[in-house]
Amino acid sequence: MVTVLRRLNVDVYYPKEQTCCGQPAFNTGYWDEARTLATRYCEIFAEADAIVSPSGSCTAMVRNFYPELLGKANQTTAHTYEFAEFLVKKLGVTDVGAKFSARVTYHDACHALRELRLKDEPRQLLRNVKGVELIEMDQAETCCGFGGTFSVKFPMISYAMDEVKVTSIQKTGAQYVVSTDSSCLMQIDGYLRRQNLPIKTISLAEVLAAT
Amino acid sequence: MTTPTLEQFKHDAAEKTADLHHRAVIQKAIATYDAAVARGRLRFADWQNARSHAAAIKWETINHLDRYLEQFERNVLANGGHVFWAETAEDARVHVLQLARQHGVEKVVKSKSMTTEEIHLNDALEVAGIHTVETDLGEYICQIRGEPPYHIVTPVMHLTKADIARTFQQKLGAPLTDSAEELTMIARARLRQEFLTADMGITGANFAIADTGMVAITENEGNARLSFSLPRVHVAIVGIEKLIPSFEDLALFWPLLSASGTGQAITAYSSLIGGPRQERETDGPREFHVILLDNGRTRLLADAEQRDALHCIRCGACLNACPIYKNVGGHAYGTTYQGPIGSVITPHLRDAEEWSHLPYASSLCGACTDVCPVRIDLHHHLLHNRRNAVQNKFDDPIQRLLFRIWLATMQSPMAYAVASRLGNLALRLGIAQRLLKPWTATREFPTPPKQSFKDYWRQHGRRA
């Protein structure tokens, strides 16, 4: 992400005191704990023009749920963007000059898709990568089954969902499955490796950084 | 905290997710449904606008429910019907049994109604010695199999034609057949006799119309129409959230319900019941009774945050969209209302602690919210229910402690850095994998990165 942003002459800064947005606590019902981290986030990132995250899930937490958690939206929550969203919607860039020779399929991370409404943006970026052949899977919008603590509380359901997802990925004949969110990719990769399947996972940011 | 209900859910979920045949059957059924619904929505000039309009009407109704319920009651009474307000499931059951005794009822025919499932009416009738027959084909199959409905719209979604043929052979002594038409005729021949000899017809209601005092019923088999028109007494059991303000609202709600429920433009039979047989009429029931059922709904009504869950028109779209439902199926939930809407409302309608696990049985993917025709914020309400569970201390104390430790770590960049390094070490030594056994039992945990982002930044951060 840093490589791509710098390629596009964006001044990147990384506040080292940052930790977690609080989503694991929030989604498990621990709103007081999450609120503490939400307040912390808003203080740490108060000075930034834009806060960019390689995760639809973290971004949705900040932009969609912080206002509910904190009782109001603010400049920091409003200026937090998912990486693909930032490139396409804020910078107006759909070709980042990347090169990646492979057949890929794209997995819609639920929060990028349904909380942030990012459907075309990541695909536009992917299609403009030299060498990428994007093959759509039939269940691109179906959840991979991660869902944070859900995948530990109900591993059998989470695993069945993973299986549905990977079956759909396999049918495309893709070499790589690409997504905005590393948690989805971890879930999918965990299944692929356990089953010794030759498909690899890679984040959209890594594809866009490749030259 | 763990409860027998949670253990049962985990047990059933494990069994159903391991049953690949079962998953294939429901996923095929839902794929057929998806194709039909996609066509159904295209009949609307603007589906999203229709949803918003329906949500606005329901919002108005639910936020002034007292007024609309009283208006509905006045109009039912003016039409010559009777209204009974049932606060609990038991109140409703007792009232039905009283009516049955009063009218010397020996046989009841029922059309499909989730509300009667919710109050376990069939059991109460059978215990009282009243023969009760489900007349919706799917419900009839459930009844003779002794199973609850698998899905609020499609009671036997989990059965194939061959399963149904075997059920008819075993329970009814019917010859085996692979023809859907023959199977339907087997049920039809039996049900016709039941309609003709029943003393009371019990139905639910898809909508209760405040300004006319009418009950609207949607169906595809004509069995509901026979159930309420042939017997001497008709009892409609109506959840109080089924109100719509005006007769004209049906112009939107009927097609909206059928588009989302089955993909149809409108269901094959759409009936309006405006009261008992009138003086110059020659058929229809002598008495028309409406039972308005609360059974926990006013608790949900009092919760301003989740009140919109009472918008629900029971179309089943959220079940069909739900990747959890698609893999565990309807029976695993153990509730009358399955899937996302069930996980939202059940902790409110029933014991909040006993059912506190259902809102957690979701990956929060949001597919349910996207398809809801009345725009209920389903997956966000699952989050609200989780927060309520924690506030009420229904959570596991160990989990609570872990989140406290986690928070302390996340508040300190130093502790966070140490924890990251320890985490990486635990991964390398294989300790983390063992701690995350539920997850790693079936999947490989990622290998730790060679370099953390923080280390990368230390090297490259100042370049620009």
B420-463 pLDDT tens trace: 889 888 888 888 888 888 889 999 988 888 888 888 898 888 76
Helix (H) or strand (E) segment spanning residue B207: strand B207-209
For B136-146, what is each residue's pLDDT tens digit?
A: 999 999 999 99
Cβ–Cβ < 8 Å for B204, B238: yes
* Nearest CA-CA distance, residue A155 and chain B, Å: 6
Instruction: Tell me how far apart the alpha carbons of residues B462 and B464 are, in angstroms, rounded to a whole number.
Output: 6
Same domain, A140 and A205: yes
Nearest to A36 among B23, B370, B411 (CB): B411
Q: What is the CATH number of the domain that holds A183?
A: 3.40.50.11810
Task: Dihedral sign for Cα B249, B255, B256, B262, please.
Answer: positive
> Do the Cβ atoms of A114 and B369 come within 8 Å?
yes
Q: Pick the closest to residue B4 from B388, B357, B363 (CA basis).
A: B357
Q: Is B401 exposed, middle or buried (0-12, 13-18, 19+ CB in 10 A)?
A: exposed
Considering the domain architecture, whether residues A104 and A205 belong to the same structural domain is answered as yes
Q: Are residues A9 and A81 in the same domain?
A: yes
Tokens read off for B173: 């002594």
Q: Do A2 and B460 touch (CB under 8 A)?
A: yes
> How many alpha carbons lie under 13 Å from residue B124 in its C-beta half-sphere?
17
B28: tokens are: 């095929």
- pLDDT tens readout for residues B219-252: 999 999 999 999 999 999 999 999 999 999 999 9
Angstrom distance (rounded) from CA A200 to CA A204: 13
Domain with A138 in it: 94-209
Whether residues A75 and A110 share a domain: the answer is no
Residue B1 confidence class, pLDDT cut points 50, 70, 90 = low
Distance, C-alpha A85 to centroid of its chain? 10
| Average confidence (pLDDT) over A81-94 | 98
Q: Which of residues 431-450 of B touch A (CB under 8 A)?
A: 436, 438-446
Asked whether the predicted pLDDT for residue B378 surpasses 90, the reply is yes
Which of B368, B369, B385, B443 to probe by mutation at the A interface, max A CB count within 10 Å?
Answer: B443
- Per-window interface: A 37-96 vs B, CB < 8 A: 37, 40
Lowest mean pLDDT across A1-10, B226-235, B276-285, B425-434: B425-434
Which positions in chain B touch A159 (Cβ < 8 Å)? Answer: 17, 442-443
A174 shares a domain with A159:
yes
CA dist., res. B74 & res. B89, Å (int): 23
For B366, which residue in chain A has the nearest alpha carbon?
Answer: A114
> For the whole model, what pTM was predicted?
0.96
Tally of CA atoms within 13 A in the half-sphere of B427 that contains its CB: 13
Cβ count within 10 A of residue A42:
17
Residues A15 and A115 in one domain: no
pLDDT surpasses 60 at B464: no
Of A115, A156, A164, the CB nearest to B366: A115
- Architecture of the structural domain at B57-295: 3-Layer(aba) Sandwich (3.40)
**Backbone torsion region of residue B7, taken as left when φ is above 0, otherwise alpha when ψ lies between -120 and 50, otherwise beta:** alpha
Residues in chain A with CB shorter than 8 Å from the CB of B10 are 154, 156
Rounded to whole angstroms, how far apart are CA atoms B81 and B214?
10
CB contacts of B18 in chain A (<8 Å) are 156
Strand B243-244 vs strand B207-209: parallel, antiparallel, or unpaired?
parallel
Asked if B361's CB is within 8 angstroms of A150's CB, the reply is yes
Contact A73, A107 (CB under 8 A): no
**Tokens encoding B433:** 């994998």
A107, A202: one domain: yes
Check residue A109 and give its pLDDT.
98
Q: Tell me which of A16, A28, A39, A188 to substitute to probe the interface with B (most B C-beta atoms closer than 10 Å).
A: A28
Residue A33 and residue B400: Cβ atoms within 8 Å? no
Distance from CA of B432 to the nearest CA of A (A): 13
Buried b (16+ CB within 10 A) or exposed e, A160-197: bbbbbbbebbbebebbbbbbbbbbbbbbbbbbbbbeee
* Residue A40 shares a structural domain with residue A100: no
What confidence score (pLDDT) does residue B463 get?
A: 62
Q: Name which of B30, B363, B381 to mutate to probe chain A: the one with the most chain A Cβ atoms within 10 A of its Cβ.
A: B363
Question: Do the chains contact at A156 and B17, CB–CB below 8 Å?
Answer: yes
Residue A65 shares a structural domain with residue A132: no
> In this structure, are A128 and A204 located in the same domain?
yes
Q: Which of residues 151-190 of A touch B (CB under 8 A)?
A: 151-162, 164, 186-187, 189-190
Is A101 in the same domain as A203?
yes
Minimal Cα–Cα distance from A125 to chain B, Å?
A: 23
Beta strands B214-219 and B269-273 are antiparallel
Q: What does the pLDDT average to over A8-17?
A: 94
Residue carrying the six token digits 């602690």 = B353
| Residue pair B236/B228 in contact by the 8 Å Cβ criterion | yes
Cα–Cα dist A127/B237, whole Å: 56
CB A74 within 8 A of CB A42: yes
B272 DSSP β-pair partners: B216
Is the CB of B366 less than 8 angstroms away from the CB of A159? Answer: no
A109 interface with B at CB cutoff 8 Å: no
Residue range B392-399: average pLDDT? 95
pLDDT tens digits for range B17-74: 999 999 999 999 999 999 999 999 999 999 999 999 999 999 999 999 999 999 999 9
Running DSSP on this structure, what letter comes out for residue B280? Answer: T
Residue of A nearest to B384 (CA): A29
As a residue count, chain A comes to: 211
Q: Do A153 and B404 make contact, defined as CB atoms within 8 angstroms? A: no
Same domain, A79 and A142: no
Q: Per-residue pLDDT for B157 more than 90?
A: yes
Using the Cβ of B178 and the Cβ atoms of chain A, whether some distance falls under 8 Å is answered with no
Instruction: For strands B233-239 and B200-203, give the pairing.
Output: parallel
Per-residue tokens: B157: 């979604």
- The minimum CA-CA distance between A93 and chain B, rounded to whole Å, is 20
pLDDT tens digits, residue range A99-148? 999 999 999 999 999 999 999 999 999 999 999 999 999 999 999 999 99
What SS3 class is residue B201? strand
Q: Write down the pLDDT at residue B431.
A: 86
Query: Distance from CA of residue B445 to its chain's centroid?
Result: 36
Q: Which residues contact A173 (CB under 8 A, 6 or more apart)?
A: A103, A135
Nearest to A142 among B323, B388, B395 (CB): B323
- CB within 8 Å of chain A, chain B residues 22-61: 23, 27
Among A161, A112, A61, A113, CA closest to B363 = A161
- Residues of chain A in contact with residue B391, where contact means CB-CB under 8 angstroms, are 29
What separation in angstroms does the CA of B460 have from each of A6, B348, B402, B454? 11, 53, 34, 10
CA distance B442 to chain A (A): 7
Q: Which pLDDT score is estimated for A62?
A: 98
Q: Which residues in chain A are contacts of B454 at CB distance < 8 A? A: 16
Cβ(A197)–Cβ(A173) below 8 Å = no
Written as six digits, the tokens of B273 are 């019941």
- The rounded distance, in Å, linking the Cα atoms of B75 and B5 is 42
Given an 8 Å threshold on Cβ–Cβ distance, is B360 in contact with A154?
Answer: yes
pLDDT computed for residue B429 by the predictor = 87
Q: Are A4 and A87 in contact (CB under 8 A)?
A: yes
Q: Which helix (DSSP H) or strand (DSSP E) does residue A64 occupy?
A: none
Query: What is the pLDDT, as a whole number, of residue B430?
Result: 85
Domains of chain B, residue spans: 1-42+314-395, 57-295, 397-460
Residues B305-326 have a mean pLDDT of 98
ipTM of the complex: 0.96
Domain count, chain A: 2
Q: How confident is the model at residue B313 (pLDDT cuts 50, 70, 90)?
A: very high
Nearest 5°: the CA angle B395, B396, B399 is 105
* pLDDT (average), residues B191-200: 96
**Half-sphere exposure of residue A205: CA atoms within 13 angstroms, side-chain side:** 19
For the segment B117-133, what is each residue's pLDDT rounded down to a tens digit? Answer: 999 999 999 999 999 99
